[in-house]
Structure 1
């Protein structure tokens, strides 16, 4: 769906499409020895922040619950450190994409939804049960009771033996019941219903006496349930119950819900699976964050709390849980179920699992030990200072957890029209892919951080102490028994093509955490000679040996990723549509304009934005506007360049050429040069640079796989010789 078909959703993220298949990893080595045909050693890696960056410190003695300090080793100065665990996660996510591995980090939980008031007809009917073939809300299986624990399991106790006719466990009380005056006050306007005196979502212990039946209109459904009047405690025929106040006061409200306090024993008991209760808690945290269970958000159902439930007809187990009659429902399929349907499974473990380690949910596959370790990266330089000016402590714009219930952005949609939308239970639905955040300008990132001072913050805000741009760190990545293919994949995942940057830490949606990562040196241990000599210098392979193994591994990796391509035409991992999308999302030197990758609030004030922006924000979530793909946005989006001392890549030509050059070592040439010499080259098809003489004519020398990211065929660039072997060019770098 190209963005020219408007309106469309604006988000700070997009997705790298799912691979059509999973590439199997190499066989696992023995753990008690070094393999002579594999590689052991480490990479010296340099990290430079391009925008303000933050990752939270561990909590020390006397620190607040969420200390604002940057991660540190508890030294006196609290010097910032990039934690190895976070660097590992950053690189693993890239490794997963480049090696066509499964999205192993996808949760196996099942989402909850409620489209009762949605403008999307299909979703509304699927939820409400207006169509018996579609509807998931079966009113005949609706019950209410109290959550209790039995051993390690949960159960819902429903109904009171003193009121057997109310076998569903709940009754309703009219808003005009005089007894409500104790809990709510009347409106100053005549003929208006009572209004809440108690805070929203509060409950009250009451006594009720059954009087007859009432009909509740729930969307397009009618629910028949017992009605009751409030009664004096312990009076004749009265039953104890729990009066629910939920949501905002509605002028058209006719009834309040009362859940009867279960007797001992209750009329019925229904098992509540732990997975259902876990998914309910996860929904509350995702939808309401720290407010969940507070006075301005739905009640959190804990042990002893009243709740409404849906019970499965065949198993008599609870399938959905909610604080009131309009409870949320669970989809039938989990996130991981939908993700697995997107590709054909591998015959064994994929490369990410064999290299980074794997622990399954069952015993069908033994756990796999990781063969790489990321050390913490230590501070080495901060030419402009470590911390941001004015105040080191800042308050970022509101951050929250991902919302995969936003089906218009997280799932592929078959049409540019808003209706119909696919949801998590739709036939042939596909997850969008691996979520990545767009790069944003340094000014945008800085503007999202307000000076903390003494200002009060809400439950969804936090204080942080970010480091500024151009702060440099160094660390090591150690590896054991990697094949040449695995080593090349790790190298390519750490050092991205020129012009691309990683995303690290907190606030990626605001533009924080852009990180330039480069490998300074590859150190390969000669595991046989290491234990045969006392000379430490002889314990390592030569740089030429390492370079050869990297090139061989990179070539073999391309064969595995693109098995049906001719190798002479396929010289880069970055030729597929999905990796072009990934490159666009990572592009630092040329990006989409910040306005196209901003965070759109659910409710934006007219005072904070212009009229057109306010209308778009209002429409985007209310109408569930669909998110275009990354490539659609790049092709038609407005572009902005990041100032640089080097030649700025031309993203427009990259788009037209539909091609991404490779990153690997160069071939040697037959000409004599000196380190520092300038060389001019023209880019040929297949990502080859042809060296030119001073007149612009070809010298006949060609270098493959140079870091010329985002340039097109025919572009002329200057390079500088940075390494020679016997007087011949071994490595060049773009000037």
Structure 2
């Protein structure tokens, strides 16, 4: 069994976020390749038809349009083009379109969750790095960082990159009093009137903006010891002025990874490195380490100058800091400063960590075909043996959704808006993205991270979803004039209450496959839930409701004649989805229980994974202030109350994100429902069985009605003898509880 996330995070250790996770499945419910039908025929016992859908926006919705040829050729950036997606340029202000591909992606991602499909849409290209400079004693990364760089960075050396062919090497620098490099104070550089230097004090004002700088052909001398470190007391931009020659590398001042600029300048020391030492041999740099570094560059490391947008610090002749490897081994750890970021190495694995390392192998086998694959199709990334399907065409086709309004009163505002700034997801926030087991009680020092042992110690939390934030979320940037233009974008969202119509066509689906599709579509029309679509989900944008009508095609009748009066003959029936949903739920439960999983679960919606999904889809039109507070982003410099903890940096203590089931109970507290015998409650008909049973020498009709009752952990049944029952699946009726034990309502009777 996969490691499970902590069941109750102590209040003092609890984090908040606009997102949460639906836990990983314990197993993948597979589909046998033999069950995949040929695509050139319609089959008996399969279902073909359409689902006519009306989508209603419940919060502002935005899907960006791509660049036109002209816009692309003139170098326009999509972030500066606010148009909603459209297909007819002449009607883009009155007839926006929701692309079918967006609808398909939304539906498929949910089908993957509810059908226990594999987790294979994860790239291992992004590798995870960290640093723990001046980390507190209880920081879980402190010891890991010291193990590689040594106390006070004693393992860190300095040198110069050299490229020979397609290989990279480091030539060590000459030492300074047996030290690989020395420091110099900011005030010393300023006092020397160093040519071209931009002082750190300019980090956040309107003077020339401070950034890391790199100066060659400088000279320095007068080396003194201060608190165990060597400092030069003199420096000049003229290489002939002082005894030592080399380069000056200035501090990043904690800029790397910062969301906001620090109010107070905390770093005031820079580094000096002597020239290369020709008497020392070149040390090779590991090819994989170079590639991992390039794939994981931060925006800070892409600044030009002093870095390269694609290579970072990797440049021929460039000074660099590194950890000296064992003899005969290549350099794997390097960076632009002595306190550089280093890779996470998962316990027992010499390669840099990525998210895929923390997904159990049985959940990410590319060879597996799952229910989502069978419905939506697949193409295997790698060449498969002849006996294995390389690809399979999907059997679900979704049209674009067309706006039904006849005027332009569909926009949130008449002009484009500038939304709050959203940064890229940061999976390196391991206290949120990785399972933290009960055994550590969310204690900071013992948190699991990407250097922990994968699968045994921890796994990824699962599917990431965002909380809804009501029909009128705060999405506009409060002070766009104070933000960098590179971080801002423009949107033209559609307001709540606008209707779109689209059609889902399907062919040759089994009852289980159709049930999986209808399970998701039915949730979308339940008033308790909403789906999420488009951009701005962390801000609460994109909540949508989808109502629908299911039509099944009568394929045999379809070919008995061609016309029906003056139109095509298309025989079809309107159907309820309950039967197919039941078949789907029963199938999934049977597959899981056969594997020894959820053996005590009697209802599909009792599976914790499904409960987590429903929690994340829960809809509140006007959420409380506490709800919104519990679903906001934490901040590095929180400047207003309430604040998580006593430090403005709400991330500092590495608080742990609870499960969505714990969060939903706090943001939407509900009264416990007490069930007792004799109580009258509402029940939803979920199954009707009619059979003839012996009655003396004759037989009699016996009807068993199965109900779903809120608060009951098992189905409730009523037996009716010798009477016809005029009920259909999905009906809601009042029933009286006749037998009940705890939260298990066993027997009920309808109240006429």
TM bracket, shorter-chain basis: 0.7 to 0.9
Q: 2:335 aligns with which of 310, 322, 333?
A: 322
Give the structure 2 partner of residue 483 of structure 1: 510
Task: Determine the C-alpha separation between the residues in 1 that align with 2:729 and 2:280.
Answer: 74
Equivalences, count: 653
Comparing 115-124 with 391-400, greater Cα deviation is found at 115-124
Q: Deviations over 1:168-209 (max 9, x none)?
A: 996335445886733559999xxxxxxx99832121222458
Residue in structure 2 matching 1:403, options 426, 430, 437 = 426
CA deviation after TM superposition for structure 1 residue 588, in Å: 0.9
Structure 2's unaligned 5+ residue stretches are 1-6, 202-206, 255-263, 346-352, 677-681, 692-706, 739-752
2:497 maps to which residue? 470
What is the 5 A alignment of 1:302-317?
303-304=315-316, 306-310=319-323, 313=326, 316-317=329-330
Equivalent position of 1:696 in the other structure:
none
The question of 1:434 aligning with 2:463 is answered yes
What is the SS of the residue equivalent to 1:635?
Answer: helix
* Cα distance in 2 between the residues matched to 1:708 and 1:311: 72
Contact 2:120–2:366 under 8 Å retained in 1: no
* Correspondent of 2:548 among 493, 507, 519: 519
1:355 aligned to which of 375, 379, 398:
375
Checking the alignment, whether the CA contact within 8 Å between 2:552 and 2:572 is kept in structure 1 is yes
Alignment of 1:659-698 (within 5 A): 667=688, 683=709, 685=712
Match of 2:652 in 1: 622
Greater mean alpha carbon deviation, residues 482-491 or residues 333-342: 333-342
- Which blocks of at least 5 consecutive residues in structure 1 are unaligned? 189-195, 640-650, 671-680, 693-698, 716-735
Residues in 2 aligned to 1:405 and 1:656: alpha-carbon distance in whole angstroms: 45
CA distance in 2, matches of 1:360, 1:317: 35
Deviation at 1:580, TM superposition (A): 0.9
Assess, with a 3 A threshold, how the Cα gap between structure 1 residues 353 and 2 changes in structure 2: closer, same or farther. Answer: same
CA distance 1:5–1:318, change in 2 (3 Å): same
Q: Look up the match of 1:107.
A: 123
1:631 to 654, 661, 671: 661
The answer on whether the counterparts of 2:10 and 2:442 sit within 8 Å (CA) in structure 1 is no
Q: CA RMSD in A?
A: 5.1
Alignment of 1:106-505 (within 5 A): 106-108=122-124, 109-119=126-136, 121-129=138-146, 140=155, 142=157, 144-146=159-161, 150-151=165-166, 155-159=167-171, 171-172=181-182, 174-175=184-185, 176=188, 181-182=194-195, 184=197, 199-208=210-219, 232-233=238-239, 241=247, 243-247=249-253, 256-258=271-273, 260=275, 267-268=281-282, 270-271=284-285, 273=287, 276-278=290-292, 280-285=294-299, 293=303, 300-301=312-313, 303-304=315-316, 306-310=319-323, 313=326, 316-332=329-345, 333-340=353-360, 348-360=368-380, 362-363=382-383, 367-371=390-394, 372-381=396-405, 385-389=409-413, 391-414=414-437, 415-427=441-453, 428-443=457-472, 445=473, 447-450=474-477, 458-496=485-523, 498=526, 499-505=528-534
CA 1:396–1:251: 2 relative to 1, 3 Å: closer
Deviations 1:592-611 (A, max 9, x none): 72222122322222xxx33x
Q: Distance in 1 between matches of 2:86 and 2:675?
A: 45
2:586 equivalent to 1:586 = no
Partner of 1:89: 105
CA distance in 1, matches of 2:86, 2:283: 52
Q: Shift of the alpha carbon at 1:369?
A: 3.3
Distance 1:242 1:417 in 2: 41
Pair 339,56 (structure 1): closer, same or farther in 2 beyond 3 Å: same
Q: How far off its partner does 1:284 sit?
A: 0.6
Residues 92-142 of structure 1, C-alpha deviations (whole Å, 9 max, x = no match): 22111101122223332321111223336353433332x58x979996575
Post-superposition CA distance 1:553-602 (Å, at most 9, x none): 45434422444799999775322112112111111148672222122322
Aligned-partner Cα distance in 1 for 2:614–2:78: 38
Residue 202 to residue 241, structure 1, CA distance change in 2 (3 Å): closer
Mean CA deviation greater in 326-335 or 340-349: 340-349
Residue 281 and residue 293 in structure 1: after superposition, are their counterparts in 2 closer, same or farther (change >3 A)? farther
Q: Secondary structure at the match of 2:90?
A: coil
- Larger deviation, residues 115-124 vs 301-310: 301-310
Q: In structure 2, what is the Cα distance between the partners aligned to 1:618 and 1:298?
A: 33
Q: Quote how far apart the aligned CAs of 1:688 are.
A: 6.2
Normalising to structure 2: TM-score of the pair?
0.72
Measure the CA separation in 1 of the matches of 2:123 and 2:15.
25
> Is this contact kept in 2: 1:56–1:68, CA < 8 A?
yes
Separation of aligned partners in 2, 1:168 and 1:36: 81
Counterparts of 1:452 and 1:197 in 2: how far apart (Å)? 22
Contact 1:95 1:489 in 2 (8 A): yes
CA distance in 1 between partners of 2:267 and 2:401 (Å): 61
- Contact 1:392/1:466 (<8 A) preserved: no
CA contact (8 A) 2:17 2:631 kept: yes
TM-score (norm 1): 0.73
TM-aligned CA distance change 1:284 to 1:231, over 3 Å: closer
